[in-house]
Structure 1
């Protein structure tokens, strides 16, 4: 459940989003103007219609008054109000929604701009489902901030003034009473709705975001959940959260019903009192009889401006909670910062890892005092069991994680002195988890080299053993993968990622487990292609399989975050107690 902030922080959390309305002030002000025109036209139309009917009835009592009565001017006024009301409603829909949609578009850009600089490690604390929920449900909740709260509240205030003035022209006392009664009703109902519903409204938004995030993640893992027989348990968990959300919504509905009852009660009291005052003034000759209907209907129409405010204000808690969640992402300080320009010029592409320490937020020691130098054009295998810190070291090289101590340098220039553009241009990377975008295979491959020709891409895919797969694609490279690349097997997807990295012209190639999931023959073929394509380039290959590594220049072994040994394959094989020699002997046996 959300922790509810104090009232001052509840207001302040919306300040950034209220401030972002300024660029669209023209659209939003136009929307409020059209809405005010619509409301005042409704008040004028209903009030004038009431007066017209009453006056017509009284004028028809005698032939002389019927002949003298002007039927045309009130009829024209009613038609004018009808036209302005219709036009105002249309104008309000166009301008307010245009302004709101532009505002929401800007909010999404701002939130995405805040997320984009975060390293993958920083993003993992949220999860894809959680981020998706914040980018959709939470921003959509802010839709109501202007459309249902800010604009209607301002328009209601102006409409109350207009209604009081209209009635006050004929009876200042009744006009002042109507304005005060409408103001009291328009303040009490929304205030009570906000106070009573802040907790269940915030709870609903929290549960809704949690439910959406969990549902997305569970659907992504549907196959695994079905295989392990966990889908029913996960479904029951989702249903429990949904029931909790529905309970919060039921409580919200009860509060809305109470606010409606209160509003209608205040309407009845205000209308009764206004009519009683009008009747008293008529009985004392201080007001014309037809005006009693005029004033009663004017007050009734004025309540149209405030009738929806309690329902809108009871959702303020929901909006504030959504704003808090978005603010948590938007103000998240990136764990990795890049200078806008290079502060040092790399002298070549030699990689120097000097006493590197990396500790995760949960206290796990991933790397401890790792030092390693990879010379220009050298091919190095980073070997070690799962969990030894191999992937963490790769992530440190591309600054996906930031070391607590130690330093990584590229050409004697520390990585933190290089701009992101320079750093990204230096590395071609194929991570363990290859992602394919919903685009053609050609476009996915061109992420590595936008200038690569179809012949180059096809040749590389054939060399990596993907020729049969490519021939099965009806449209070849123009074909589209399923979402995330699920239409490819694990081995095919991994080789596709290797092809994308090898197409890049970057001087340093980082490959994380490129032969995982491949049989020995295919793994050897892939390693041979990697070696050929990386001639003249620096290669760091992460793996836990010793097969085929003797063709590389050096082997470095990590174990429990520490550099256990490093040397040429031949030198390590000559040491019976070396890790590389032992695992090679196991493979032979």
Structure 2
């Protein structure tokens, strides 16, 4: 099924409203045509100065058609837009539901600005499917057919001439418009998405662009993308002008041919001269009904591109193909058995044959170079990523039978790239309230968490305390402060099983030692898993796993690794020396 058909199916819930709006739109168009025809007849007949009673029906008809046109058009706008906005809401909710299945690991396949364009601009384009494609076509067919029938009833030859011109205008001209604009209009949505993403990158990367004197290159790239967008708009404008000219030409041919045939019939067949006026005016109003069809065809090209981009979200492979709502975990022991996993749309295996056993209340460190698989294991443990091979057990249960939400109610993680929201310190910390269900948490608790994360001095200098607003993505704070705010969230959430991914990144050795000492103290009755490139962070843990290239290289207590594994011993010695140099005199 094509993307456009899939999007059209979303309108099935408002099918009755679409039928009503089609009837109202056709009624408004037919009333407009009838108004012009009856007005022409009234003026022509009045010029013959007949008794006033001969004109009374025409006078009433003109008033009726004028009122019907206005009421029907206004009613059609109300009904059609109400149906369309309801459907847009449904499509947007469906898209968000698809994103929920992808989040967080599966979202990496979409660029942020482009994803925003898909959710906003592309979804908004779906309103054109009903308002600028379906309704104009449906109402035009009804109105044009009735007009041809009316013209044929007055004089058959003129009706045939008008019918042929309308047929060409309603079929050949839209087909040409579709052929001319198909490629460029289908690409509009993608170009718009690329421009949005490039613009987001441009503003977020201003510091680096200015520092590297690369602003002019970024602006040139934005300008090139904007020119592509402008080129498609210009192509659309040229195409619109071309098809409008063709319609105007066909309209003129219809008026001249119909009038000439009717005038000839006046001389040869005794046709009432008053009807010549009506026959001459009918094509002017009738072409108003089909004039929007080429635009509908061009709009369909653009809608097709937007629909495909929405379907890309709906069809994206979910990281969790099936997230059960079955049993709840009863134990806190963790067991990974021969786990293998890869990230979405990535052929490279991130981790393979990983085995880990962690008893409740124990601790394990994951160490290794960047890219060795530490963060991947952490994502598997909170079910952000489902393993391709092996089993992940939590207590006596297999996590394949446990929902991600249930797992994350007891397994909490502070990820390396956790988000700082552009809101107050309070609201950034309140995210960590247990299951986000605690309505209130005291200021003392929030401040205590900041102090535990060694942010007491920083907090005391904030102008508005907990109400101080942090910048977009934490731009107003240092990388180290950002990292400690994330750890403060963990102090507030205090899950049964802690997972910290690079908790001491951007911290000097002395501060890192203090933070880890507090973390160890806070997790005496909890399980603790720390992924870190800094070996000192896990030097007092029950066990340490050394990872390399996504494989488990060694697993042993830290003191045994220090004795038997030279790379670990050397790295640990260097870190201790660096930490000792920073000790206050």
Scaled by the length of structure 1, the TM-score of the pair is: 0.90
Match of residue 58 from structure 1: 48
1:83 to 54, 67, 70: 67
Change over 3 Å in CA distance of 1:338–1:311 after alignment to 2: closer
Match of residue 516 from structure 2: 527
Match of residue 105 from structure 2: 121
1:368 to 329, 342, 352: 352
1:74 to 45, 49, 58: 58
**Deviation, structure 1 residue 72:** 4.9
Change over 3 Å in CA distance of 1:93–1:468 after alignment to 2: farther
Match of residue 546 from structure 1: 535
Match of residue 509 from structure 1: 498
1:403 to 387, 390, 399: 387
Aligned residues of 2:133 and 2:299 also touching (Cα < 8 A) = no
Change over 3 Å in CA distance of 1:324–1:68 after alignment to 2: closer
Change over 3 Å in CA distance of 1:525–1:273 after alignment to 2: same
> Partners in 2 of 1:43 and 1:473 — Cα distance?
70
Aligned residues of 1:377 and 1:536 also touching (Cα < 8 A) = yes
**Deviation, structure 1 residue 120:** 3.2
SS in 2 for 1:445: helix
Match of residue 340 from structure 2: 357
Aligned residues of 1:198 and 1:317 also touching (Cα < 8 A) = yes
2:18 to 19, 28, 33: 28
Q: Alpha-carbon deviations, 1:76-132, whole Å to 9, x = none? A: 432332222222222222222222122112111111211211143322122212222
> Partners in 1 of 2:85 and 2:323 — Cα distance?
34
Match of residue 574 from structure 2: 586
Aligned residues of 1:358 and 1:365 also touching (Cα < 8 A) = yes
**Deviation, structure 1 residue 68:** 4.7
Asked if residue 559 in structure 1 is aligned to residue 548 in structure 2, the reply is yes
Aligned residues of 1:225 and 1:231 also touching (Cα < 8 A) = yes
Q: After the TM superposition, which of the residue ranges 301-310 and 84-93 deviates more from structure 2?
A: 84-93
> Partners in 2 of 1:572 and 1:204 — Cα distance?
58
> Partners in 2 of 1:405 and 1:272 — Cα distance?
77
> Partners in 1 of 2:315 and 2:187 — Cα distance?
23
> Partners in 1 of 2:494 and 2:57 — Cα distance?
81
Match of residue 4 from structure 1: none
Match of residue 308 from structure 1: 292
Change over 3 Å in CA distance of 1:333–1:565 after alignment to 2: closer
Change over 3 Å in CA distance of 1:584–1:68 after alignment to 2: closer
Asked if residue 499 in structure 1 is aligned to residue 499 in structure 2, the reply is no
**Deviation, structure 1 residue 431:** 0.5
Aligned residues of 1:197 and 1:315 also touching (Cα < 8 A) = no
Give structure 1 stretches of 5+ with no counterpart.
1-8, 60-64
**Deviation, structure 1 residue 266:** 0.9
Aligned residues of 2:165 and 2:253 also touching (Cα < 8 A) = no
2:371 to 387, 404, 409: 387
After the TM superposition, list the runs of 4 or more consecutive aligned residues in structure 1 that deviate by more than 6 angstroms.
none
> Partners in 1 of 2:221 and 2:9 — Cα distance?
39
Q: After the TM superposition, which of the residue ranges 484-493 and 305-314 deviates more from structure 2?
A: 484-493
Match of residue 6 from structure 1: none
Aligned residues of 1:121 and 1:400 also touching (Cα < 8 A) = yes
Aligned residues of 1:42 and 1:85 also touching (Cα < 8 A) = yes
Match of residue 252 from structure 1: 236
**Deviation, structure 1 residue 540:** 0.5
> Partners in 1 of 2:317 and 2:137 — Cα distance?
36
Aligned residues of 1:211 and 1:241 also touching (Cα < 8 A) = yes
SS in 1 for 2:340: strand
Match of residue 210 from structure 1: 194
2:8 to 12, 18, 39: 18
Asked if residue 37 in structure 1 is aligned to residue 27 in structure 2, the reply is yes
> Partners in 2 of 1:474 and 1:50 — Cα distance?
76
Change over 3 Å in CA distance of 1:339–1:368 after alignment to 2: closer
**Deviation, structure 1 residue 230:** 2.8
Aligned residues of 1:352 and 1:412 also touching (Cα < 8 A) = no
Q: Alpha-carbon deviations, 1:454-503, whole Å to 9, x = none? A: 32122111222223333444443344333333232212221111122232
Q: After the TM superposition, which of the residue ranges 243-252 and 486-495 deviates more from structure 2?
A: 243-252
Aligned residues of 1:117 and 1:334 also touching (Cα < 8 A) = yes
Q: Alpha-carbon deviations, 1:202-247, whole Å to 9, x = none? A: 2333323322233233333332333333332222222222223333
SS in 2 for 1:262: helix
Q: After the TM superposition, which of the residue ranges 76-85 and 38-47 deviates more from structure 2?
A: 76-85
Q: Alpha-carbon deviations, 1:28-87, whole Å to 9, x = none? A: 23322322222122112211221122112222xxxxx4x556555433432332222222
Q: Alpha-carbon deviations, 1:164-216, whole Å to 9, x = none? A: 23334433443354344323321221122112321222233332332223323
> Partners in 1 of 2:357 and 2:138 — Cα distance?
67
Match of residue 94 from structure 1: 78
SS in 2 for 1:117: helix
> Partners in 1 of 2:48 and 2:167 — Cα distance?
33
Scaled by the length of structure 2, the TM-score of the pair is: 0.91
Aligned residues of 1:145 and 1:319 also touching (Cα < 8 A) = yes
Aligned residues of 2:382 and 2:412 also touching (Cα < 8 A) = no
Q: After the TM superposition, which of the residue ranges 246-255 and 93-102 deviates more from structure 2?
A: 246-255
SS in 1 for 2:351: strand
**Deviation, structure 1 residue 435:** 0.9
Give structure 2 stretches of 5+ with no counterpart.
578-585
> Partners in 2 of 1:389 and 1:13 — Cα distance?
37
Q: After the TM superposition, which of the residue ranges 552-561 and 106-115 deviates more from structure 2?
A: 552-561
Aligned residues of 1:509 and 1:539 also touching (Cα < 8 A) = yes
Q: After the TM superposition, which of the residue ranges 218-227 and 374-383 deviates more from structure 2?
A: 218-227
Change over 3 Å in CA distance of 1:165–1:362 after alignment to 2: closer
Change over 3 Å in CA distance of 1:74–1:347 after alignment to 2: closer
